[in-house]
Structure 1
Amino acid sequence: MQNIQYKYKPENLRESDPTKFKVENLKNEEMLLNLGPQHPSTHGVLRLEVISDGELIKDLVPHLGYLHRCFEKHAENLPFNQIIPFVDRLDYVASMNNEHAYVMGVEKMLGIENTLPKRIEYIRVLVAELNRIASHFIAIGTYALDIGASTPFLWLNRDRETILRMLEWVSGARMLYNYIWIGGLFYDLPIGFEEKCGEFVAYLKPKLVELQQIVIDNHIFIQRTANVGVLNLDLAINYGCTGPVLRGSGLKHDLRRVDGYSVYPELDFDIPVGQGTVGKVGDCWDRNNVRVQECWESLKIIEQCLEKLNKDHKRTRDFDPQVFVPKKIRPQKMDFYARAENSKGELGFFFRTDGRSDIPVRLKCRACSFHNLSVLPELSRGMMLADLIAIIGSLDFVMGEVDR
C-alpha cells in the first residue's frame, strides 16, 4: 500500500494517550478510517474511528455523543408521571419495556408495588413481551441486512408491523406509548384484544421456525457469524454487559428470574444461553440465536398471560386501571435504584428525591446499550473490517439510550 500524505493533523482521539492516535504517528501500512455516523450498519449516529492495516483492525475508538437526547436533564425538570413519554424515547423500539422498568421503580419508592390488581400486572407483562418480540425482530432483521440478506428483514418487519398495530390498538400510539402509568394503566385492553393476540401467537409460531431455517441455521449466516466477535464471560461481566449479549456468553442471568418482579415468578419460561453450537461460546451466532430462542419464551409468557386474563382475572364492568394512580407523587427523601430486564439487558433508574417536591432531584438511567457497546473495541481488535459490521449488529444497541 502506498504512503498516504495527510494534509491535516486532527486532535487526539484519546486524551489518556496523547501520542498514540495522532495521524502523523500512523505507520505507512495503517489508515485512519471513519465509519459513521451516517453509515447504515452503525444503526444510528455512532461514529467509529478505526485504525486499520489493510483489512485488519488494529484499534477502534467509538464516539457516542451525537444524538443529544438529554433525557436525564429533562427528568430533573418534570414531575414523575410526566417523565414517562421521555422514557419511551430511550430505547424507542422497546418502549413498553422502558415504561415497565421506570414505573415499577417509582412504585417501589412509593411502596405501592404490591397493591395493584393482578389484571394490571398481567396486562403489563403481556404488552412488554409483545414489545420484546418486536425489538428482537428489528435486531435480527437489520442484522441479516447488515451482512447481506434482505429477505429476513422484510419478513420480520411484516410480523413486527402486526405487533405494532396491536400495541397501537391498546394505547393509541404506534411506537411511543405512554401506556403503563404509575399505579396502573392508561386504558384496559380493548374488547377482543385477547382473542386477536391468541390468533397472532398461533400465526407466529411457524414463522419463528422459518426464521430459524432461513437465518440462524443458514450456511452463509453461520460462516459470517460463527467464531466472530467472541465475547468471553469474564470480559462480558467486567464490562457490565447484560441481556442477550451476556447470555450469549453462557451466563443464565435474566432479571425476570433473578429479581422476580411483577408476575414473572408465577410464569413458566426458560432462559436461553449461548452454547457454542456452531462456533465458540459468546460469538455473534450465539447472541443472535439467543434472541430467536427468547422470542419462543416470550410467546410462552404471552400465552400464560392470556390464559390468566381470560380465566382468573377477567374483565369486569367496574374495573378501572387508573383507580390506584396517585394524584400527587411525592416520595420520601431517599436515593433509590430500580431495574428490570429490557429486550437488550438491564435497564436501571437511579432516583434522588428531596421529600418535598414531585420532581426528582436527580434521575440517572443505567442504559444496557451503553454497556454493551462499550465492549466493541475489545471484540474488534485483530478482526477484519467486514467482521466489524457483523460484530456491531450482534450487540443490538439503540443510540437513544446510549446518548442520554
Structure 2
Amino acid sequence: MAIQQPIKPKSRPFTLNFGPQHPAAHGVLRLILSMQGEQIIKTDTHIGLLHRGTEKLIEYKTALQALPYFDRLDYVSVMAMEHSFCLAIERLTNTIISTRAKCIRMLYAELTRVLNHLLAVSCFAMDTGALTPFLFAFEEREKLMEFYERVCGARMHSAYFRPGGVAADLPGGILQSIHQWADQFASRIDEMEELLTGNRIFKQRLVDIGVLNAQDAVSWGVSGVLLRGSGIAYDLRKAQPYELYDKVKFNVPVGTNSDCYDRYLLRIEEMRQSLRIIKQTIDLMPISGTTLISPNDKLSLLSDKGGYQDRPSRAEFKTSMEGLIKHFKATSSGFALPAGETYCATEAPKGEFGVLCVSNGTNRPYRVKIKSPDYASLQAIDLIGRGHYLADVVAIIGSLDVVFGSIDR
C-alpha cells in the first residue's frame, strides 16, 4: 500500500504596507511590499506625502529670497543644498568670488558632509539594532552645529552661502576651534568602528544585502555613495572640480561588494577624507580682511560708492532715511539675472545635487528644477530589494540614506 504524501497548502502573495508611520521609513515614505511569506517579490514606492511645491515657489522669489528654500530640502545637509544654487546664480551672472569665500564654502561643505554621514551611519546602526553609535554621533553633531551657529546664528536653516560669497566673514577663533575638533574627531570615528565594523550581528544584517552592480547603478542614474559602493570611482569634486577642490589632496573610496556593508564602510572613510580636506582648506585660507562679496559686484546690495541699481553706499545706509529706503528697495527687488540657463551640480553628501536655473532677464528665475541624489537612490529599492526578507528592507533603506525634504519637493 503506497504511503500518501501530505498535501502542501498553496500559498499566494500578499501585500504589506511599510510606513509611513514605521520608524525606519524616514518620515513619510510608504512602501507597498508584495510578499511571498517573508520574501519580497516587488516593492512599490509611494512618495509625495510631504510635497510642498518648492520649485514653483522659488520661481516667484528673487535669488536671495529663494535661498532659504534650499535649506529645507535635505535638512541634514543644509549648506550643501545652498551651494549648487549659489554656483548656478554666479555662473549666470559671470561672477567670480574671492579665494577666501571659496575656502569658507569648502570648509563648511565638508563639515556638512561629516554632519550628514554621522546621522546616516548612526541611524543606520540604530535601524539594525545598535543604539550606542547614535549617542556617540550626536555628541559630535552638536559640536558641528555650534560651528554653524557661530557663523550665521542658526543651527539648521543657515542661509549662509550667498550668490557672490557668504553672508558674513568667519568670527574670530573659529578656525582654531575647527582645527582642534578635526584633530580629535578621528578617534571618535575609531570608537564607532570598534562597535560596528567587526560586529558579528551588524555584519549579518548587512553583508550581501541590497547588492547593486555597476551596470545597474549607471542605468538607474544613482550617484554618491550608492554609485561608488558599486565600484565606480565618480566624485564631482574630482571629475568636475569647483571652488578649490583641485588644490587639495584626498582619495575617493570605492566599494567592492556593492552591498549595504560597503555603503557603511564608504561613509566612514568619506568622513576621514573630509578631515583631510578641512585641514588643507584651513591652510589655504587667506588672511582675514579679504573681501567676501565685492562692493562693485552686481550681486552686492551695498556699495562703497553707490550707483549700480541705485544702491546706497555703506555710510548712507546707516545715516540717512533715503539710504535705508534704497537698501529696502534693493533687498526686496533683488538684482536682474541675465537671460540664459545653466545647470550646476556639486558632490553633496548623498550624491550629485544639481540645480537647473533658467532666466528670462528679470529679477526672478523663470524656471528652477532640482536634481536630488536620494530621489534617484530611492527608485533603486525595488531592484535591490527583490528576493530579500522583510527585515532586510529596513537595512536597505538605511543604506540608501534618504531624506524626504529633497525627495518630496
Corresponding position of 2:385: 380
Q: Deviation per CA, 1:281-325: give whole Å up to 9, x if none.
A: 21000111111100001000000111122xxx0112x74546443
Q: Return the match for 2:369 from 351, 364, 388.
A: 364
Residues 198-347 of structure 1 mapped to structure 2, 5 A cutoff:
198-275=179-256, 281-309=257-285, 313-316=286-289, 319-321=291-293, 323=295, 324=297, 325-327=299-301, 328-347=334-353
Question: What's the offset of the Cα at 1:100?
Answer: 1.1
Counterparts of 1:326 and 1:105, CA distance in 2:
16
Question: What's the offset of the Cα at 1:332?
Answer: 2.5
Aligned residues between the structures? 366
Corresponding position of 1:107: 90
Q: Deviation per CA, 1:198-229: give whole Å up to 9, x if none.
A: 11001101111112221123222111101000
For the pair 1:402 / 2:385, whether they are aligned, the reply is: no
Does the 8 A contact of 2:92 with 2:341 survive in 1? no
Secondary structure, counterpart of 2:343 in structure 1: strand
Cα distance change on mapping 1:35 and 1:122 into 2, 3 Å: same
Larger Rg: 2
Corresponding position of 1:22: none
Residue type matched to 1:377 in 2?
D
Counterparts of 1:234 and 1:216, CA distance in 2:
27
Question: What's the offset of the Cα at 1:28?
Answer: 4.4
Does the 8 A contact of 1:187 with 1:321 survive in 2? no
Secondary structure, counterpart of 2:43 in structure 1: strand
Q: Deviation per CA, 1:342-366: give whole Å up to 9, x if none.
A: 00000011111112x1111110001
Corresponding position of 1:14: none
Q: Which blocks of at least 5 consecutive residues in structure 1 are unaligned?
A: 1-26, 276-280
Identity of aligned residues (%): 37
Residue type matched to 1:329 in 2?
F
Residue type matched to 1:118 in 2?
T
Does the 8 A contact of 2:78 with 2:158 survive in 1? yes
Corresponding position of 1:4: none
Residue type matched to 1:141 in 2?
S
Residues 42-81 of structure 1 mapped to structure 2, 5 A cutoff:
42-81=25-64
Counterparts of 2:283 and 2:178, CA distance in 1:
11
Residue type matched to 1:259 in 2?
Q
Counterparts of 2:339 and 2:185, CA distance in 1:
47
Q: Which blocks of at least 5 consecutive residues in structure 2 are unaligned?
A: 1-9, 302-333
Does the 8 A contact of 1:186 with 1:322 survive in 2? no
Residue type matched to 1:89 in 2?
R
Does the 8 A contact of 1:255 with 1:340 survive in 2? yes
For the pair 1:351 / 2:357, whether they are aligned, the reply is: yes
Corresponding position of 1:39: 22
Residue type matched to 1:383 in 2?
H
Residue type matched to 1:56 in 2?
Q
Counterparts of 1:394 and 1:268, CA distance in 2:
27
Corresponding position of 1:161: 142
Counterparts of 1:93 and 1:179, CA distance in 2:
15
TM-score by length of 1: 0.88
Residue type matched to 2:117 in 1?
H
Corresponding position of 1:18: none
TM-score by length of 2: 0.87
Residue type matched to 1:52 in 2?
M
Secondary structure, counterpart of 1:336 in structure 2: strand
Counterparts of 1:126 and 1:155, CA distance in 2:
23
Counterparts of 1:366 and 1:41, CA distance in 2:
24
Counterparts of 1:73 and 1:249, CA distance in 2:
35
Corresponding position of 2:319: none
Corresponding position of 2:115: 134
Q: Deviation per CA, 1:126-158: give whole Å up to 9, x if none.
A: 011001101000000000000000001111111
Secondary structure, counterpart of 1:72 in structure 2: helix
Does the 8 A contact of 2:358 with 2:368 survive in 1? yes
Residue type matched to 1:294 in 2?
E
Secondary structure, counterpart of 1:34 in structure 2: strand
Does the 8 A contact of 1:100 with 1:180 survive in 2? yes
Counterparts of 1:237 and 1:394, CA distance in 2:
18
Does the 8 A contact of 2:293 with 2:300 survive in 1? no
Corresponding position of 2:79: 96
Question: What's the offset of the Cα at 1:329?
Answer: 3.1
Counterparts of 2:94 and 2:199, CA distance in 1:
50
For the pair 1:175 / 2:156, whether they are aligned, the reply is: yes
Question: What's the offset of the Cα at 1:122?
Answer: 0.3
Does the 8 A contact of 2:100 with 2:292 survive in 1? no
Counterparts of 1:93 and 1:73, CA distance in 2:
23
Counterparts of 1:361 and 1:119, CA distance in 2:
31
Does the 8 A contact of 2:101 with 2:292 survive in 1? no
Residue type matched to 1:53 in 2?
Q
Cα distance change on mapping 1:320 and 1:241 into 2, 3 Å: closer
Corresponding position of 2:308: none
Cα distance change on mapping 1:320 and 1:381 into 2, 3 Å: closer
Corresponding position of 1:17: none
